[in-house]
Each structure stands twice: as C-alpha cells, then as structure tokens.
Structure 1
C-alpha cells in the first residue's frame, strides 16, 4: 500500500495554516474589530456640589468628537467658556471637576474642591459663549466655538446640587496593526502549500529525494495581473465584499515583492492621544495651550451683549427711569442719563441722550488682557444717530456682566483708527512704550487745552473741522466771560482718576479713552448782583438765580488718538461729548 507523500502532507498543512492565519487577520478588521467609541461614566458615589466643571483637556484627550450625556433632577444648564473664565466665575464655590479618564477608559476621574456652599446662578453670564438649558436630561455634542481651549460648567441655580450623573463618549482607537501582517503571512503560507502540490520534485521519484520550487516570471506576472484585476473589479461593491478585496490585495502585494508587513491597517489611525498614547498616559488629558492671548469676547458674544445693552437703554429712555438701566449701564453713562431723565421730566425741550443702537455695528475693539476689569469698544450707527458713536463697555469682575459706561459721538469727518479685531493689547495709563504720549499724558494735555486758550498743547492736538469740540468749548467759555458782565467766571477740565483706558492701534499708536470733569464756576462781581442759570441747570440747582454764586458740573467722555513715538503727527480727538450732571448754588 502506497502511503501519502510527505510533500502532499506538508502542502496541505501549509494551506490550512495559511487559511487560518488569513482568516485571523481578516477577523481583526471585521468580527473582532474594536468598537468605534468608548463611554466613560462619572463615579456614582461622587459627592454633590453646586457646580461641576468639565476640564477643557477632555475635549481632545482621545481625538475626534466627544458627546456628553447628563442626567439630573429638575432644570439645569451647561455653559461653555474659556478655562480661565470658568475658573474665575467658579471662584471659591465648592465644585467637582471632571479631570480625566481611568486606565481602562471606562470611568471619568472626578476631583472635589471644598468651598462656599452656594453661588449665584450662572445663567445669563457674559462669560459664556453658549449655554444649553435642560430639564432632567441633556445630550450635548462638545465642539469648539473658536480656536483655543474651552471648558464646560454644569449647574442648576447655584444653590441646588449640580447634576452628578455624567457620561462621556469618546472616539476609540480602531487600529488593527496585526491584521495586514496576518493576512500577508496567511497568503504566503497558502502559496507555498499550493506550490508544493503543483511542482514536481527535481531529480527523484515522487516522495523521495529533494525538489526545487521555482516561480517563473510568467507565472508571477499572471498572478499579479489576476489579483489586481479581482481587486479592481470588486472595489466598488460595498462593505459585503470587503473580505474578497483584502485577500486579493494581500496576494497581489506578496507576488509583487512589496514590504506589506510594514504597512498600516486599511482603517485610518486616530492621533495617538489619551490612553493609547505613549506621550500622554491613560487617565490624563494631553496638554493644550493657554488662552492668555485670546480675545475676551467672540463676535457672537459681543453682539448678544450689545443687544441687551441697547434694550436696557431703550427701556430707560422711553420711561425716563434710571432703574431700568442699572442691569446694563453704569459709571459716567448712568450718571449722565439719570440727570438727563430728571431734567427732561421738567423741561420738555431738553435734548435726550443719543440712543444706543446695535443694528449697525461698524467695528469692535476687544482686549486680549484677560485680567479684570475688562474694557471693550463698539462703534455703531443706527436710526437716531446723526454720526457714529463710540460705546465703551466694562466688565468689573467675573460674575458681573458688561455695562455701558460711555456713549461718545465721533467727531465729524474723523476716521476711527485701525485696531486688531482679534484682540489687542491694553496698556496702563502711564505706559509710554512706543508712544508719543502715555494715556494719562494725552488726557491731561487735552484737559489743559480745553481749559486754556494759550495751552502748551495747542499745537499738539489736531483742531479745526476734524476736531470741532475743542474750538466749540473754547468759544463757549470765551462768550460766557464776555456776556456775563455781572459775574466772574472760571472754567476747568480735569481727568477723573481711574477712568483712563488705553488700546494699542494697528500702527503702533494708541486710542486713549477717559472722563474729564468740566467745572463752570460763577461768582457775582458786586454785592446784589445776580447770576442766572438755564432751565436745565435750574432743575438740579433748585432755582434759576443766585446772589452768592453757582457751580455747574459736566461729565465729558473723550477718546484721543496718540501717534507712535517716531511720528511727527499731532494727537487727534476722535470722539467727545458732555452731559450736565450737577448744579448748585454756593
């Protein structure tokens, strides 16, 4: 009885082993393929706190889009903001922070920070670029509204516990590095087994002696052509033919003599981050740049704030009620409008303040200085505005909203200086770096020029048609002195301490804003002489005539352009206005 030749047994074994190896490689990309996402859940025993922060690093820890599911009792909100803004708003309030992932990426790491038991509601804060309100449950897709880092804040109303049932779903590493090598190896083994069956032994009888395997060039060419043709014919047939495509591609690569074993999987590889990265260990998020140079407001935030400011001023103007202003108006503008309402309630002919409009936003100026107080500017013009006006808004602290502190019409024919819209540098009032004058020097020079006809700053400020305010003020003061034959009059303009804000312009100069106090002092020349004041001032002084003297106070809002240090140009008054805020008899 003739036994089965060893060559035949070996060939069959190689083919079977190759088939199993090939199937193992294919299985890694199909039935054994890793899940496309992984979900991590916050510990159920986490101690409740009024606020919960989700660290900005978790948005990019695994690469790709992150989705969040939050469950809680009653209503709650999720707010997105810059990490430093979120931290500043949280302040000393007790809170939980979701900081990273566990080693197996199945659990969220949560750190507790003790502190104050309650906080104001974060709803409506200007710090948030967006908010999501929910009741009971929220599904949220975490995307960045702009470049840089963004953290999330969860809260109910600041007094009740924030939701603690939080799960986050991240993209998973679906790479299969052994799939292609196994398929290639399986293909090689099957080809070797087939060769043993087809080729005859050299110089001996079947089953005896040695044999020689030779893959001729014609055989190799035909095999490559057939494999490539099969792969091409099936390339567009959909997911159901994936196995055939992989087998054909592997065989063609082997016969072509390429180094397939070193190639990557057919599936795109995510960035090596988070738990799968050697650069960033599991359970910690990868480092990201800080937001130190980011503008304090995005355009969408600025427009929303401006709309609310305009609504508040419209309501106050319509009702002549300063209480309706307090949520969005402060400082000089609140003082001037309050007195304006008081005068207009008694003197119908008295001019109202220029309305605040948000419909036509010409430009914005946003600081990249992230410390508080923060100042921003808007130039707007709408119905009721004869000329564009410069609006100055200030946020005093993280938990306060921006408030309008000044509305200043641009000087006729003035071109507003170019300032970087993506965030510009703000300087301290005494910082003269790169400037012809510091901010405080510029305003002090303007105040001196408005006070004295022979001021040393007369030639250092542009005057005439492009800056009529200076000439008009000097003319008014001169006329009062000439016409007031019964009185002695003195005028002064002084910078209000703490009011100066300086923004760097695109050409290296600066735009300086501040408040001056304009005092108008009158005293009768002789005993028995009387001084009269206008109906507007009489409302505040309580009468129209005095024999003892009077003092009128005006608040002046100013904006001055200061050229760079190497410029020979004079300073220029960009915007100016004044409003009566006080009147009294001596």
Structure 2
C-alpha cells in the first residue's frame, strides 16, 4: 500500500511542480503593454489626454522622438486646453486594439458649429469629443505656428531633449501630456506609451512548494515500503532432511565491517530529495511574484506622484468648488523662476527683465528703485523675493483667468529678516505669473487661519458685504485714518495700536515732519487710496486677505519770495532729475503696498495690517 501511495504522491508532485513551472514559463503573460504611433504630418502640438494615459493601470513610460528639439510637459487637462486655445492640435487616443490613433482637433471649428433645431449643442469646452478626424493632414501641417510652450507656469513639470525624451511618470486622472518642439515646427512624429502589466503568478510558488512536499512524502512512503518489505521476508529455515549432506563452501577473508544497505539507501534518497527540492525552493523564494498577496486586501495601489493634487480635485468636485489655481510643487517651480529673475534684475537694474515677472505696484517700486540706484548705488534695493521655503501657500480656487496666488516666503535662515508676502497673478493661460504685490511681513503679525494649498481659497469680490469693509474700500478707508487720525469715521474699524504705518504716515508722523521742516517752507500732505488693483482671498473664518495701495504725496512750498529744493545727492533728486531750487516748491509721492486682514461681518476683531512695502514712486517740481 505504501508503494501505491508513494507513486500517487510522485504523480501529484509532478503535476503540481509542472503547473507551477508552466505558470512562469509557457503560460506567463507579458509584463508590459505598449501603444505607439508614427505621425505622418503632425501638427505643431500633440496632446495625450487623461483617457489615453489611463488606458492601463500603473505608471506611464512616455517615449518621444523624431523632432529637434523635443519638448514634453504635463498639466491639468483644462489648463492644457486653455493654453492651446484656438490652435489646431493632434489628439492621441488608445483604440480597442491597444494602439495609439490620432485625430486632428480644430477648436475654432467646434466653437462655430451650430446644432440643428431640436438638437443639443455639443459642449465646446471638450473639443476632443468631436475631433476633425477626416481633416487633411496637409491642412493641419499648414496651420499657423503657435507660441513656444517652454517655461509655461501651467505645466506641473516639463522635459526637453535634443532628439528624444523618455520619462516614466505616474499621472492620475485629469492630467494631459503636451508634446511639441518649439511651437513653430511640427511636433515629434514617433510617440509611444508603455504601461507595466501585472503578470505575477501568485500560485506558482505554492504549487511548486506543495509539489516538493508531495515529492518528499513520496520518498518517505517509498522508504517505509522498502523497510516493511524487508521485515516481511524474515529469516529462511534450514533443511532437516538427514539424508542430505551439504558440502562446505570455501570462505574468503572476512571484512572488518559490513556496509549497511539501509543507511546507504537512506543517504541516497536524501541526496535525491535535496537535489530536487533545493532548486525548487530557490526558484519559489526569489520573487514575490510567485506568491499570493497577503496584504490588507483592499486593492490599494502605490500613491501616485500627484496624489495631493488629485485628492484636492476630488474634494473640490464633491463640494462643487473650483480646484486651486496651482499645486504646491507647481508653485515651488514658479517661485524658483521668479526668484531667479528678481535676483538678476535687481543686480543688473534691468527694468525690462523685471517686467517679465513683475507687474502693478511691485513693478513700479522696482522701476523707481532701479532709477535711483543707477545714480546712487549705495541705496538699498527693493523688497527681496525668495524662492522659499514657502510658509504660506494660498491659491485661488479658479478654472478661469485671471488667477491669483498668495504666498509668504522666508528669506534665509536669519529670523531677523522679515518674511516676504506676495500676491501673484496670471492674466491669461499663456502668460506667466507676475508678482503684483511684494511686501515685508510686519513683526509679530497675527496671521489668520487659511485653507491648505490643496484646497485653496475663493476670491472675495471687490464689493463683498460679508466682510467688515468691502475689499476695494479698505485702502481708501485706511488712507482716511492716515489723514484724519482718530477723527476719521473709519478709525474704529482698524487696529491702530502698534501700527507702524499709522505712526509714520499718520497725523503724528506728519506733524513731526512739519515741525522738523524749515520755517520758510510750508509742508502739506495728501493721502489717498492708490491706483493698484485690489485682490482679496477668503480665510477659513469668513474673513479676507486683502492687498491694496495707499499713496501719500508730501508737498513743500516756500513762503513768499523763498525757494526750496530736494536734498542734494538724495533719492528724490536722483529720481526726479530736478536739482535746482524752485520758487514753486517740490513734491514727492510714497507708494505703500499694504496687506490687510479684514474680519468677517459679526466678528469682534478689527482690520489689521499684516505687512507692507514703502517706496518712492514719484518726485518732481510742483507744477
């Protein structure tokens, strides 16, 4: 019976081991899926949308060649579409056979299409739904070249190469890839996307191991069978016939010890088992692909690269709010570019270079500072702009333009150097973000609670009545308390204790300046809300962060028969170019960029100044 069981065990072992090995050899599926296309006459831009990138699970390896240079970037689908605007482009999709197929998309034709009576108009914001697949390729190639996509702030990341680009990415749903050269030439023609496939064989390991165990069991049963068979034979009886006489055989030399046949058989069987099992165990133990996954069983996959952005988009969709204008990694890249631009422009005093990344009051302050420093090199520079680390990141919740982002960045490790608060604005999809306000944070400023960068903040309208003062009115109201002091009707709205701007530019500061002036000169002040645009973003307590400008003009007019002039070698004379004494008088204007916190209606808090920047923005003779 043991021999029968041993044979059965050997058969089961052979089947199980054979199946286990077959799973890793003849039955093993592919470990990757590749979709590729070679475009005959590509347009200047090619788009791989989220559906194409998500054709298979896992990371995407994108390989692009056939152009020079090669540019590849990725960003949110809506941002990519907005950047392309009315440009003709090639859309790539994955067909049922797993290959990339191309179609030409002309957004202008989609927008001009009018539905027949009784039909529903196709949404113009998704031109890929009605691609001009039959458009002649030569017409697409003849389309006007577009702008260069290199360096756009809309991209989450971009890559360039001389003749080819190959990158492995982990892009979630809602992300599209833009492929181009420089916007003026046809895009690279050879494009492929590769995804990893799960070809693990979780039962190969168990089958091989169990087969090995059955093989061992067969060896044990076989050995037990031989032992039982030997014992069953027993000793043979001698013949008792007296008439038979047996001859005596010659004997040879007696060996010192007799070999044990049983032990020899045992050792040989052990060796055979070891020879068979060691390779099998080594084979099954070398990779997790041979074994079932005994994890949490929830089917979770590794966290994708852009998980925070994806979670923010999901949260925004559930709450029916717009996603944040930028992601935090995207903003870090933008700030690095801005900081590099600012450092070079501040060193070379290049106004045109500064204008590439600055606008509004921040650009005005830099232009006047450069003009002064060209004549007075020892004058201090404008408010420093640093790449970070970023202490506060508050993007606007928006899918439209213009968009704004509020940032607070540290300037080095020195705690005595104030942090810089900035308001960044992007006017349209093809414009980069510009610093419109750049201010130093006030000492010990009590900053309000704001939403995380993955959620963002809603824009607060200029005339919003839900805050203590409408944002557009905050700077004029603040200018009024600088002019009238505690006699201003707006005085109770503002926290003036410890406000350094009130101390310097308010009534007390003005009186001190008048007292220190020459008796032959009459000094007067005019303070008003500035011309800079107001921007406001909501805080978590229903308040708002508001930035605006205040301008104070100081006029010095000589008494009858006298003259007055700017201080020789001073910044006002350098900016105005007026160095003579004037009987009319002289005047200069100081521009204040101010960051306010405006509480919501019903709060017991007051409006307070969180930061500011002051700069000389004009100087001249009195007209």
Name the TM-score, length of structure 1 as normaliser: 0.71
Question: For residues 175 and 434 of structure 1, do their structure 2 counterparts lie closer, same or farther at Cα, with a shift above 3 Å needed?
Answer: farther
Matches for 1:351-390 after TM superposition, within 5 Å: 351-376=380-405, 377-382=407-412, 386-390=417-421
- Structure-2 residue corresponding to 1:477: 510
Deviation at 1:507, TM superposition (A): 2.6
Q: Which runs of 5+ in 1 are unaligned?
A: 1-15, 180-232, 250-263, 272-287
- Does residue 565 in structure 1 map to residue 601 in structure 2? yes
- Structure-2 residue corresponding to 1:80: 74
Structure 2 counterpart of 1:507, from 541, 544, 565: 541
Matches for 1:195-344 after TM superposition, within 5 Å: 237=281, 293-344=322-373
- Structure-2 residue corresponding to 1:430: 462
Counterpart Cα distance in 1 of 2:298 and 2:448: 46
- Does residue 51 in structure 1 map to residue 27 in structure 2? no
Deviation at 1:357, TM superposition (A): 2.9
Counterpart Cα distance in 2 of 1:311 and 1:236: 60
- Does residue 346 in structure 1 map to residue 375 in structure 2? yes
Deviation at 1:387, TM superposition (A): 2.2
- Structure-1 residue corresponding to 2:484: 452
Counterpart Cα distance in 1 of 2:390 and 2:198: 46
Deviation at 1:350, TM superposition (A): 3.8
- Does residue 486 in structure 1 map to residue 525 in structure 2? no
Tell me if structure 1 keeps the 8 A contact 2:520–2:562: no
Tell me if structure 1 keeps the 8 A contact 2:68–2:188: no
Matches for 1:6-21 after TM superposition, within 5 Å: none
- Does residue 496 in structure 1 map to residue 531 in structure 2? yes
Question: For residues 351 and 133 of structure 1, do their structure 2 counterparts lie closer, same or farther at Cα, with a shift above 3 Å needed?
Answer: closer
Structure 2 counterpart of 1:39, from 34, 37, 42: 34
Deviations 1:358-417 (A, max 9, x none): 355433332232322222222323379742221232222222222222221122221332
Q: Which runs of 5+ in 2 are unaligned?
A: 1-10, 108-142, 205-276, 300-312
Tell me if structure 1 keeps the 8 A contact 2:594–2:611: yes
Deviations 1:272-307 (A, max 9, x none): xxxxxxxxxxxxxxxx96887433333333233223
- Structure-1 residue corresponding to 2:157: 130
Counterpart Cα distance in 2 of 1:159 and 1:310: 29
Tell me if structure 2 keeps the 8 A contact 1:380–1:390: no
Aligned length: 483
Name the TM-score, length of structure 2 as normaliser: 0.67
Question: For residues 444 and 27 of structure 1, do their structure 2 counterparts lie closer, same or farther at Cα, with a shift above 3 Å needed?
Answer: same
Counterpart Cα distance in 1 of 2:611 and 2:285: 72
Counterpart Cα distance in 1 of 2:440 and 2:18: 78
Deviation at 1:571, TM superposition (A): 0.8
Higher Rg: 2
- Structure-2 residue corresponding to 1:543: 579
- Structure-2 residue corresponding to 1:158: 183
Counterpart Cα distance in 1 of 2:380 and 2:69: 46
Matches for 1:118-197 after TM superposition, within 5 Å: 118-144=145-171, 149-172=174-197
Question: For residues 240 and 393 of structure 1, do their structure 2 counterparts lie closer, same or farther at Cα, with a shift above 3 Å needed?
Answer: closer
Deviations 1:515-557 (A, max 9, x none): 233333455554x343333432223152353222444222210
- Structure-2 residue corresponding to 1:8: none
Tell me if structure 2 keeps the 8 A contact 1:426–1:501: no
Deviation at 1:149, TM superposition (A): 2.7
Deviation at 1:87, TM superposition (A): 1.4
Counterpart Cα distance in 2 of 1:569 and 1:328: 35
Tell me if structure 2 keeps the 8 A contact 1:488–1:525: no
Counterpart Cα distance in 2 of 1:76 and 1:424: 34
RMSD: 4.3
